[in-house]
Structure 1
Amino acid sequence: MSDRLNDFLLHLSAALPDAGPGSADPHRFHWIAVADELEIVAIFHALEHLEGELTPQRRSTLDAALNLITIRLRDDPELPEELIPRIAALYRHWGDDHPLRHLLLPWLTANGTIEALQEFADLIADDPPTRTAAAAVGFAPLLRVGDFNAEALYPRLLAALQHISVAALVLDLSNFLFRSGRLQQHPAAEISNQLIELLGGITTRLGQLEENAELTPEKLQLLRTQVSEGVAMAVALCDALALIGEKNAIGKLNQVLELSHRQLQCEAAAALARLGVEDGTKHLAEMAKHPVVRLRALKFAEEINGLESIEPEWKSPVARAEGELALWLSQDTQFGLPPHEIELVDERELSWPGYDDPQTCYLFRYAYHMPAGSFQSLGVVGPLTHSFAADLTPWKPEDAYAAFAGWQAEHQDVFESEPPEWQDAQKQLADSLTQRLQSEGYQVIQVIKLGYFFGDVRLVAVVRRADGIAGVAVADLRTTTFYSGEGTDRPIGPHEAYMMHKGREFLASFNPNTYGI
């Protein structure tokens, strides 16, 4: 047994005292991504006999191993044939309360043999992960272009449509395999009537949820989860029924158009248009007026050669940029819904760090109006699509662009360090710059970090000026720049201020003649 394998098995066992998930070097097990066949078999044997409590350290070791073997199989899908049924058996043995058992699924789909795919289909049909995000890990290898027999998944995989956690994933995969030509017939074509009934049931349920006006915070969270699951399934169903060419679905698709959810309206309209219903094309043109679904509506209209039905103002570069920002803001990782207001405030060509050619940059003001209050800020579309949690509306467009450039730009000679990381020389420099800020009349509330910019160093601190205005000071060896917190109840903080500061320098160096910051 190799030393590296022995070291891994020791950490996986209960023999070592647990020191927390971060106690081991995160790179010490990277060799597993290139492990040989005997090592893979030995690791799997250890997984089968894993006993004892899954402590944080053991969970971290197990997490690393499962993910690294997936990488190994992705790059080299060969796996000892006798392991495939054992993988499925181990998945079932760990049970649905095991936090990492879903990481076994991509071992089967990355392998891609008929036997492995059949085992995967059985597991998803009988005992899928209870969380969609966990289940998606197993489906991901199947969405890559590869040489595997897609027919091995069907019809067994369709039995998983009864499970809400994987139903949309199953249909999305089926749609992908048919659309990409991997399957000559849509695998759900023979159960299209079942899909129509399912779409009708989901549409009715979503309509009922839209009418539910009295919600506590707990019920609101549950509602969002139910709506998210329902929308994902309805989208997949609309796409599948259109791909199958099922004209019997037209009535149910028209019912989807009556929902207030614009993405679903867009999907149903596209499905109707693909089925030859003229009202579908007309509805797509209406959907293009709404920023959050504009890009999707334009994409669908282009696919059916119906772009001419959409008014020019909704197809312009500005309109597309507006749609991109609205879609980004509506993601669950951002606000989770489209802005109530959005308008263009600036458009210009800029040479941007990281790009060889000048970039068209758009700056939009957007706003949300909630029962608890309103929020507004600026968002950028162009070389990046982004916004901050702070309100940038008090700042000039030049400053807003600088903040986004400073956030995005990366260079090995541009970095920051915070007080716990400082050596004695850095502490002395920070003390010296702090004293200078105080001599200039600033009350230093908190020192945040030191920023290094191509050999230049500056102190970033939260301060208050002599006139009582709070903000952020950035002090280098020569000058001090103050970033005011006035003009909004959500001002930029020290990190956004420093992004703006270094972004100004980046943009000034890239745009010396046409853009001075």
Structure 2
Amino acid sequence: MSDRLNEFLLQLSGALPDNGPSSGDPHRFHWIAAADELEISAILMALEHLPDDFPRERRTYLDTALNLVTLRLREDPDLPLELIPRIAALYRRWGAEHPLRHLLLPWLTANGTIEALTQFADLIADDPPNRTAAAAVGFAPLMRHADFNAEALYPRLLDSLQHLSVAALVLDLSNFLFRTGRLATHPAADVSGQLIELLGGITTRLGKMEETSELTPEKLQVMRAQVSEGVAMAVALCDALALIDDKNAIGKLNQVLQLSHRQLQCEAAAALARMGVEEGTKHLAEMAKHPVARLRALKFAEEIDQLESIDEEWKSPVARAEGELALWLSQETQFGLPPHELELVDQRELAWPGFDDPQTCYLFKYAFHMPAGSFRSLGMVGPLTHSFAADLTPWKPEDAYAAFAGWQSEHQDIFESEPAEWQDAQKQLADSLAARLQSEGYEIIQIIKLGYFFSDVRLIAVVRQVVGALPGVAVADVRTTTFYSSEGTDRPIGPHEAYMMHKGRELLASFNPNTFGM
């Protein structure tokens, strides 16, 4: 047994302490990605004999091993075939509640052999992960690589349509394989009737959810998860039925058009348009009027060669940028719904860090009106699409652009350090700058960090002006102090956004001296 394998197996078993001399090295197990057959077999045997109560503190090693073996199997699909049923057996033995068993699935799909794909299809049909995000890990290699026999997955994989956690993934994969020509016939063509029934059932459930009101926060969270799951499934179904071109689906697709969810309306309209139904093309043109659905409507219209049916107003660069921000804000990781107000406040060409050519930059003011109050801010589209949790509306467009440039900046000579990380020299510099802030009439509420900008170092602190008691953030270097006020909104920028704005001003000034001259 090699020393490297022995170290890993001892670490996994707990025989070595988690704080040993090499325990902090994140690269010490990367050799697994190039392990030989005997080492892979030994790792698998160790996993087969792990206790059911595997300690949480050692899951890092297990997670590392599972991911690196996936890479190894992708590089060498000719590993012994007897490993494949052992992997499948281990997956079943670990059970649905095991927190990492889904990481075994890409062992099979990355391997890509007929035997591995057959086992994968069986596992997804019989015993899929109970979370869509976990299941997606196993499907990812199939969407990235083209050198596998797609027919080995079907028709067995379609038996998993009964499981909500994987049904949309299965349809998305099937649509992808047919659309890209990997399969000559859509694999779900023979069960299109079942797909139509599924779409009808999901549409009915989503319609009832739209009528539901006065939910508690807990019930609202559950309903949002159900809506997200239903939307993903309905999108995949609309796409599949359009690709199969089953005219029996027209009635159900028309029902989807009655839902308030604009993404689904776009999907159903596009499916109808592909089937030659004129109402689908007309509905796509209507959807282009709504910012959150605009890019999707334009994409579908272009695919079916019907862009001329959409008004020029909704195809302009500004309209597309507006649609991009609305779509970004509606993501679950942001607000989860489109803004209630959206208005262009600035548009200009700027030389932007990281780009050779000038970039068209758009700044939009948006608002969300909630029962607890309204939220307003500025969002940018151009070399990046982004917004902050703070309200930027009190600031000039130049300051807003600077905040976005500072947020995006990446350079080895631009970084920050917090007080807990400081050495003596840094503490002395911070004390000196803090003393100067006090002498300039600032009461220091909290010292946040030191910012390093090429050859300059500056202190960032939350302060209050002694005269007038105006709160804000001070950024002080050895020469000057810049104050960023917290007034003008109930969601002011904090010290991190203020420093982003500060360093962004310097970056943009160096690229655009006539506009951002310091």
TM-score over 0.5 for the pair:
yes
**What is residue 136 of structure 2 aligned with on the other side?**
136
Give CA deviations for 1:47-101 in whole Å, capped at 9, x if unaligned. 1111263223311110111111112233444432110010000000000010000
* Partner SS state of residue 460, structure 1: strand
- The residue type paired with residue 125 of structure 1 is A
Structure 1 window deviating more from structure 2 (214-223 vs 8-17): it is 8-17
**What is residue 56 of structure 2 aligned with on the other side?**
56
- In the TM superposition, residue 132 of structure 1 has moved relative to its aligned partner by 0.1
- Residue 83 (structure 2) pairs with residue 83 (structure 1): yes
Contact 1:29 1:65 in 2 (8 A): yes
Give CA deviations for 1:118-162 in whole Å, capped at 9, x if unaligned. 000000000000000000000000001321100000000000000
* Partner SS state of residue 342, structure 2: strand
- In the TM superposition, residue 18 of structure 1 has moved relative to its aligned partner by 5.5
**What is residue 185 of structure 2 aligned with on the other side?**
185
**What is residue 492 of structure 1 aligned with on the other side?**
493
**What is residue 508 of structure 1 aligned with on the other side?**
509
- Residue 457 (structure 2) pairs with residue 451 (structure 1): no
- The residue type paired with residue 291 of structure 2 is P
Partner Cα separation in structure 1 for residue 154 and residue 446 of structure 2 = 62
**What is residue 325 of structure 2 aligned with on the other side?**
325
Contact 2:406 2:507 in 1 (8 A): yes
Partner Cα separation in structure 1 for residue 239 and residue 388 of structure 2 = 34
Partner Cα separation in structure 2 for residue 74 and residue 115 of structure 1 = 14
- The residue type paired with residue 40 of structure 2 is I
Contact 1:417 1:449 in 2 (8 A): yes
- In the TM superposition, residue 514 of structure 1 has moved relative to its aligned partner by 4.4
* Partner SS state of residue 513, structure 1: helix
* Partner SS state of residue 289, structure 1: coil
The 5-angstrom pairing of residues 435-450 of structure 1 reads 435-450=435-450
* Partner SS state of residue 464, structure 1: strand
**What is residue 94 of structure 1 aligned with on the other side?**
94
**What is residue 297 of structure 1 aligned with on the other side?**
297
Contact 2:505 2:516 in 1 (8 A): no
Q: Which runs of 5+ in 1 are unaligned?
A: none
The 5-angstrom pairing of residues 357-506 of structure 1 reads 357-466=357-466, 467-506=468-507
Contact 1:18 1:56 in 2 (8 A): no
Name the CA shift for 1:468/1:203 in 2 (closer, same or farther; >3 Å): same
Contact 1:353 1:409 in 2 (8 A): yes
- The residue type paired with residue 492 of structure 2 is P
Contact 1:18 1:55 in 2 (8 A): no
* Partner SS state of residue 164, structure 2: coil
Partner Cα separation in structure 1 for residue 449 and residue 353 of structure 2 = 23
- In the TM superposition, residue 488 of structure 1 has moved relative to its aligned partner by 0.3
The 5-angstrom pairing of residues 27-66 of structure 1 reads 27-51=27-51, 53-66=53-66
- Residue 68 (structure 2) pairs with residue 68 (structure 1): yes
Name the CA shift for 1:269/1:489 in 2 (closer, same or farther; >3 Å): same
- In the TM superposition, residue 446 of structure 1 has moved relative to its aligned partner by 0.4
Contact 1:349 1:360 in 2 (8 A): yes
- In the TM superposition, residue 39 of structure 1 has moved relative to its aligned partner by 1.4
Structure 1 window deviating more from structure 2 (55-64 vs 477-486): it is 55-64
If the length of structure 1 is used for normalisation, what is the TM-score?
Answer: 0.98
Partner Cα separation in structure 1 for residue 2 and residue 280 of structure 2 = 64
- The residue type paired with residue 472 of structure 1 is V
* Partner SS state of residue 369, structure 1: strand
* Partner SS state of residue 343, structure 1: strand
**What is residue 242 of structure 1 aligned with on the other side?**
242
Partner Cα separation in structure 2 for residue 76 and residue 258 of structure 1 = 50
Partner Cα separation in structure 2 for residue 430 and residue 78 of structure 1 = 60
If the length of structure 2 is used for normalisation, what is the TM-score?
Answer: 0.98
The sequence identity of aligned pairs, in percent, is 83
* Partner SS state of residue 165, structure 2: coil
- In the TM superposition, residue 4 of structure 1 has moved relative to its aligned partner by 1.2
Give CA deviations for 1:197-253 in whole Å, capped at 9, x if unaligned. 111111111111111112111110111011111110000000000000100100000
Partner Cα separation in structure 1 for residue 218 and residue 319 of structure 2 = 37
Contact 1:242 1:274 in 2 (8 A): yes
Q: Which runs of 5+ in 2 are unaligned?
A: none
Name the CA shift for 1:31/1:218 in 2 (closer, same or farther; >3 Å): same
Partner Cα separation in structure 1 for residue 23 and residue 36 of structure 2 = 26
Contact 2:11 2:17 in 1 (8 A): no
- Residue 301 (structure 2) pairs with residue 276 (structure 1): no
Partner Cα separation in structure 2 for residue 199 and residue 234 of structure 1 = 6
Contact 1:14 1:52 in 2 (8 A): no
- The residue type paired with residue 174 of structure 2 is S
Structure 1 window deviating more from structure 2 (49-58 vs 300-309): it is 49-58
Partner Cα separation in structure 2 for residue 329 and residue 23 of structure 1 = 41
* Partner SS state of residue 324, structure 1: helix
Partner Cα separation in structure 2 for residue 175 and residue 43 of structure 1 = 36
Contact 2:281 2:306 in 1 (8 A): yes
- The residue type paired with residue 321 of structure 2 is A
Partner Cα separation in structure 2 for residue 343 and residue 307 of structure 1 = 24
- The residue type paired with residue 366 of structure 1 is Y
Partner Cα separation in structure 2 for residue 46 and residue 313 of structure 1 = 63
The 5-angstrom pairing of residues 165-204 of structure 1 reads 165-204=165-204
- The residue type paired with residue 265 of structure 1 is Q
Aligned length: 516
- The residue type paired with residue 29 of structure 2 is F
* Partner SS state of residue 258, structure 1: coil
Partner Cα separation in structure 2 for residue 465 and residue 75 of structure 1 = 62
- Residue 340 (structure 2) pairs with residue 340 (structure 1): yes
Contact 1:23 1:57 in 2 (8 A): no
* Partner SS state of residue 349, structure 1: strand
- The residue type paired with residue 40 of structure 1 is I
